[in-house]
C-alpha cells in the first residue's frame, strides 16, 4: 500500500514503516483486509433488529425486497440511521450529565477537587436560563444551574422543551421545531423513544422515523450545549493560547502522558496533579519532568483551556504508542480504539482506562470518581512514572514534526477580539464585513477521520479552497486536530492562504486584539461537544440581523466523519438550518426515500440539508455555491 493512500500527516508517514517493522498492525492494515466491505451494510439495507433476521434487501431488485417481517429498504435504512443518532445523543449527553452532576456537587460543597472557575459565565448562564441570579450566592447559582440542566434529562411534560435547546436557538427556530414536533423535552426520554419506536414491529414509515431521529439529534445538541457551557464554568472559558501540535510534541527526556477521549473531568485534574509531581518524574530520570499531550477531544479540551499540545487526532492514535515514547495513555470515553492495548504490547506504554463503563481488555484500570479525583490522578501519574523507568530507549522514534497552533477561540474569545474594533457593538464589524462581502460566509469544520479518506486530506483541501474564497473558518474535534497539525491555525497560514479581503479582516481583528498580525486562518473552537460554540456565534449573528439560521451564509462540513456522534451532529446542524457537507458516503443509499429526505425534503422543511460529496475539490465548490445562494437570498 503506498503511503499517500493513507494519510498526508508526515509524522504518521514517518512512523508507518516503523510500525510495520515492529509487527504492529494499524487501523490502515485492518481496513485493507476488511475490503471489500459488505455492500448491504454500506447501503444501510441490512437489518439485525430482531432474531428472525439478519435480513437484507437486494439493492438490484432481483432478490428479496422485504425483510422477514415485511420491513422494506426505507424502513430498515431509516431505523438504522435513527438508532445511530440515538447512540450519538447518548454519548454526548452522558458526558454532559457527568459535568452537570459535578457542578451540582460543587454547589453542594462536595467534590473538593473542583471549583467554579468562571463565576461570570455561571451568572450569565443563570441569567439565560431565567434563574434570576442577582443577589444569590454563587454556590446557590451553581446548584440551580445544575438542576435546570439535569431537568433536561428528567422532565416528563412533553410540551415543555429542554431548557438548553430553547435558550440557545433563535426564537423562530424554536417555533419551527416545536411545530414539527421535533423539539426534545427530555434527552433521555427522546433516546429511549427512538429505541422503542425502532423495535421490531413499530414505526415503519421512513419519514416519521427520521423525524424521530431529528428529535434525537436535537437531544444530542442539548447535551452538547450544557456540556460545553458547564465545562467552561468548572474549568474556565477558553481564551486564545499558542501551543503546538503533532507527534513531535512528545519529549524524549520527559514522562509522556497522553490524555485521550472526551471528558475533561479527569484530564483537568491530571494536569493539576502532574504539575506537582514533576520532581518525582525527574528523580526517576526524566530530565524534563512530566509532559502531558492530548489526543482526540480530551486533547482539544486541555489544549483550549491550558495550551497543552495536541499529539494527534483520531486515526493516528496508535501511532502515538509506536513512537515508543508514550509512557501512559490515559483514556476516558469515546473514540478510543480497542486496538491500543495490542499496540502497547510491543512497547512499554501503559494504557489506562478510567471509566467503569469503558474498559479495554489488556489495559490497566484505575477507576476515576469525582469525589476522589485527585487520588486517581496521582495514581495514574505514578503508574506513568514507573512505566517511564521501563522505557526502551532503542525503541524511541519521535517524529520531528510539529506545528504551531493558536487555539482557544470560544464564542466569548471571538467576541472579545471583535470588541477591540467596536466595544459597544462587537458583532458589528463581523456583520459589516459579511454584508459587504469581505467575508463571504462562515464554515464550521467538524468530525473525525476515517480510513475511507486519506487522513486529513479532505479537511485541508477544502479549507484551502474556502480560504481563497474568503470564507471565515471555524473547527472542532478531530477536524481541528487536522488543522492544528498542519499549521493552518497560524497567522502565517492566513498570510499564505486567505483571499485578500478575508486576510484584511482577519488582520484588522488580530491587530486590534493585540496579536501583532492576523487571526489564524482556522479558529479552533474546541472538542466535538464544543460545536455548540459555533452555534452561539451563528445565533448571535442571526438575532442581530433579525433572521433565522437558515438564512445565514453559514455551512458545515464533516469531510472525514465516522462516528455515531458525528451522525447526530451533522443531523442537528441540518435541523438548525445549516447546509452540511459530508465527505464519506453515508450508509443510507439503499433507500432513495431516506436519501431524498435528508438532501432535499429537509431543505423545504428546515432550510438545512446534507450535501454528500467525496471529492474534496467538488465539495469546496458546493459549499461555496451554498454560501452564494444564501447571500443571494439575503440580497447581499
Residues in touch with ligand XCC (CB under 6 A): 262, 296-297, 314, 334-335, 447-448, 477-478, 527-528, 563, 565-566
CB of 469 to ligand XCC, least distance (A): 25
Per-state percent for the chain, helix, strand, coil, to nearest 5: 55, 10, 35
Residue pair 331/353 in contact (Cβ under 8 Å)? The answer is yes
Which CB sits closer to ligand XCC, 324 or 586?
A: 586
- Three-state secondary structure of 429-448: HHHHHHHCCCCCEEEEECCC
Cα gap 570→522, rounded to integer Å = 20
Span of 63-71, 114-122, 184-192, 416-424 interacting with ligand SF4 by CB under 6 A: 63-71
Is 55 annotated as a binding-site member? yes
567 lines the binding site for ligand SF4 (CB under 6 A): no
Cα gap 293→520, rounded to integer Å = 22
Which CB sits closer to ligand XCC, 451 or 608?
A: 451
Is 95 annotated as a binding-site member? no
52 lines the binding site for ligand SF4 (CB under 6 A): yes
Span of 52-60, 91-99, 174-182, 345-353 interacting with ligand SF4 by CB under 6 A: 52-60
Residue pair 88/569 in contact (Cβ under 8 Å)? The answer is yes
CB of 506 to ligand XCC, least distance (A): 25
Is 448 annotated as a binding-site member? yes
Residue pair 409/524 in contact (Cβ under 8 Å)? The answer is yes
CB of 568 to ligand XCC, least distance (A): 10
Is 296 annotated as a binding-site member? no
Residue pair 206/597 in contact (Cβ under 8 Å)? The answer is yes
Out of 22, 69, 174, 207, the only residue in the binding site for ligand SF4 (CB under 6 A) is 69
Residue pair 607/550 in contact (Cβ under 8 Å)? The answer is yes
Go through the chain and tell me how many residues it has. 636
Which CB sits closer to ligand XCC, 47 or 448?
A: 448
Which CB sits closer to ligand XCC, 335 or 472?
A: 335
Which CB sits closer to ligand SF4, 74 or 260?
A: 74
Cα gap 219→60, rounded to integer Å = 36
Out of 138, 200, 415, 589, the only residue in the binding site for ligand SF4 (CB under 6 A) is 200
Plot region of 411 (φ>0 → left; ψ -120 to 50 → alpha; else → beta): alpha
Is 162 annotated as a binding-site member? no
For 377-408, b/e burial (b = at least 16 CB within 10 A) is: bbbbbebbbebbeebeeeeebbbebbbbbbbb
The answer to whether the Cα torsion of 553, 220, 159, 198 is positive or negative is positive
Is 46 annotated as a binding-site member? yes
Alpha helices, DSSP H, located in 53-186: 73-108, 119-128, 138-151, 163-168, 171-179
Which CB sits closer to ligand SF4, 197 or 511?
A: 197
The answer to whether the Cα torsion of 32, 33, 36, 40 is positive or negative is negative
CB of 332 to ligand XCC, least distance (A): 11
Out of 47, 337, 411, 484, the only residue in the binding site for ligand SF4 (CB under 6 A) is 47
Which CB sits closer to ligand SF4, 193 or 370?
A: 193
CB of 75 to ligand SF4, least distance (A): 8
Is 47 annotated as a binding-site member? yes
Out of 11, 71, 258, 519, the only residue in the binding site for ligand SF4 (CB under 6 A) is 71
Per-position DSSP letters for 212-255, written without gaps between them = HHHHHHHHHHHHHHHHHHHHHHHH-----EEEEESGGGS-TTSE
Is 335 annotated as a binding-site member? yes
195 lines the binding site for ligand SF4 (CB under 6 A): no
Is 262 annotated as a binding-site member? yes
49 binds, among ligand SF4, ligand XCC, none (CB under 5 to 8 A by kind): ligand SF4
Q: Which residues are annotated as a binding site for [4Fe-4S] cluster?
A: 38, 46-47, 50, 55, 69
Q: Which residues are annotated as a binding site for [Ni-4Fe-4S] cluster?
A: 262, 297, 335, 448, 478, 528
Site for ligand SF4, rule CB under 6 A? 47-50, 52-55, 67-69, 71, 76, 200
Amino acid at each position: 500500500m503506498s503511503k499517500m493512500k493513507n494519510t498526508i500527516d508526515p509524522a504518521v508517514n514517518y512512523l508507518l514503516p516503523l510500525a510495520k517493522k515492529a509487527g504492529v498492525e494499524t487501523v490502515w492494515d485492518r481496513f485493507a483486509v476488511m475490503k471489500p466491505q459488505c455492500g448491504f451494510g454500506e447501503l444501510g439495507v441490512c437489518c439485525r433488529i430482531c432474531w428472525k433476521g439478519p435480513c437484507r434487501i437486494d439493492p438490484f431488485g432481483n432478490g428479496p425486497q422485504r425483510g422477514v417481517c415485511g420491513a422494506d429498504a426505507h424502513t430498515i435504512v431509516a431505523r438504522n440511521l435513527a438508532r445511530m443518532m440515538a447512540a450519538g445523543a447518548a454519548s454526548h449527553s452522558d458526558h454532559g450529565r457527568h459535568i452537570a452532576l459535578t457542578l451540582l456537587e460543587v454547589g453542594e460543597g462536595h467534590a473538593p477537587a473542583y471549583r467554579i472557575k468562571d463565576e461570570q459565565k455561571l451568572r450569565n448562564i443563570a441569567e439565560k436560563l431565567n434563574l434570576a441570579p442577582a443577589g444569590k450566592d454563587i454556590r446557590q447559582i451553581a446548584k440551580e444551574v445544575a438542576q435546570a440542566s439535569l431537568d433536561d434529562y428528567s422532565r416528563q411534560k412533553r410540551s415543555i422543551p429542554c431548557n438548553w435547546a430553547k435558550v440557545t436557538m433563535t426564537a423562530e427556530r424554536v417555533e419551527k421545531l416545536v411545530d414539527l414536533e421535533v423539539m426534545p423535552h427530555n434527552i433521555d426520554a427522546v433516546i429511549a423513544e427512538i429505541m422503542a419506536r425502532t423495535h421490531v414491529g413499530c414505526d415503519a414509515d421512513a419519514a416519521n422515523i427520521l423525524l424521530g431521529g431529528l428529535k434525537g439529534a436535537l437531544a444530542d445538541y442539548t447535551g452538547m450545549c450544557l456540556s460545553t457551557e458547564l465545562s467552561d464554568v468548572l474549568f474556565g472559558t477558553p481564551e486564545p493560547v499558542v501551543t503546538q501540535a503533532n507527534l513531535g510534541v512528545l519529549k524524549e527526556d520527559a514522562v509522556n502522558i497522553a490524555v485521550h477521549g472526551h471528558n475533561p473531568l479527569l484530564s483537568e485534574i491530571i494536569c493539576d496533579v502532574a504539575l506537582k509531581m514533576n520532581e518525582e518524574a525527574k528523580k526517576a530520570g526524566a530530565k524534563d519532568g512530566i509532559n502531558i499531550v492530548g489526543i482526540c477531544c480530551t486533547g482539544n479540551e486541555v489544549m483550549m483551556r491550558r495550551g497543552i499540545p495536541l499529539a494527534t487526532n483520531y486515526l493516528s492514535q496508535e501511532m502515538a504508542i509506536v513512537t515508543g515514547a508514550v509512557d501512559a495513555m490515559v483514556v476516558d470515553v469515546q473514540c478510543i480504539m480497542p486496538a491500543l492495548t495490542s499496540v502497547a504490547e510491543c512497547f512499554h506504554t501503559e494504557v489506562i482506562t478510567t471509566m467503569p463503563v469503558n474498559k479495554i481488555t489488556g489495559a490497566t484500570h484505575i477507576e476515576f470518581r469525582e469525589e476522589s479525583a485527585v487520588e486517581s490522578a496521582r495514581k495514574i501519574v505514578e503508574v506513568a512514572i514507573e512505566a517511564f523507568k521501563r522505557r526502551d530507549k532503542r525503541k524511541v522514534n519521535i517524529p520531528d514534526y510539529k506545528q504551531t497552533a493558536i487555539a482557544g477561540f470560544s464564542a466569548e474569545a471571538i467576541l472579545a477580539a471583535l470588541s477591540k474594533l467596536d466595544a459597544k457593538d462587537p458583532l458589528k464589524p463581523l456583520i459589516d464585513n459579511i454584508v459587504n462581502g469581505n467575508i463571504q460566509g462562515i464554515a464550521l469544520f467538524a468530525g473525525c477521520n476515517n480510513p475511507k479518506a486519506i487522513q486529513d486530506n479532505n479537511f485541508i483541501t477544502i479549507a484551502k479552497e474556502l480560504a481563497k474564497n474568503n470564507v471565515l473558518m471555524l473547527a472542532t474535534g478531530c477536524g481541528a486536530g487536522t488543522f492544528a497539525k498542519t499549521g493552518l491555525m497560524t497567522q502565517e497560514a492566513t498570510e499564505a492562504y486567505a483571499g485578500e479581503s478575508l486576510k484584511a479582516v482577519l488582520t484588522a481583528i488580530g491587530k486590534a486584539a493585540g496579536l501583532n498580525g492576523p487571526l489564524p486562518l482556522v479558529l479552533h473552537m474546541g472538542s466535538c461537544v464544543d460545536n455548540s460554540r459555533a452555534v452561539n456565534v451563528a445565533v448571535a449573528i442571526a438575532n442581530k440581523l433579525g433572521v433565522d439560521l437558515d438564512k445565514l451564509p453559514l455551512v458545515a462540513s464533516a469531510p472525514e466523519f465516522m462516528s455515531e456522534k458525528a451522525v447526530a451532529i451533522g443531523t442537528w446542524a441540518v435541523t438548525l438550518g445549516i447546509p452540511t457537507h459530508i465527505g464519506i458516503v453515508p450508509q443510507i443509499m439503499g433507500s432513495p426515500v431516506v436519501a431524498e429526505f435528508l438532501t432535499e425534503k429537509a431543505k423545504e422543511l428546515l432550510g438545512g440539508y446534507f450535501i454528500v460529496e467525496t471529492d474534496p475539490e467538488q465539495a469546496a465548490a458546493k459549499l461555496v455555491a451554498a454560501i452564494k445562494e444564501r447571500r443571494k437570498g439575503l440580497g447581499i
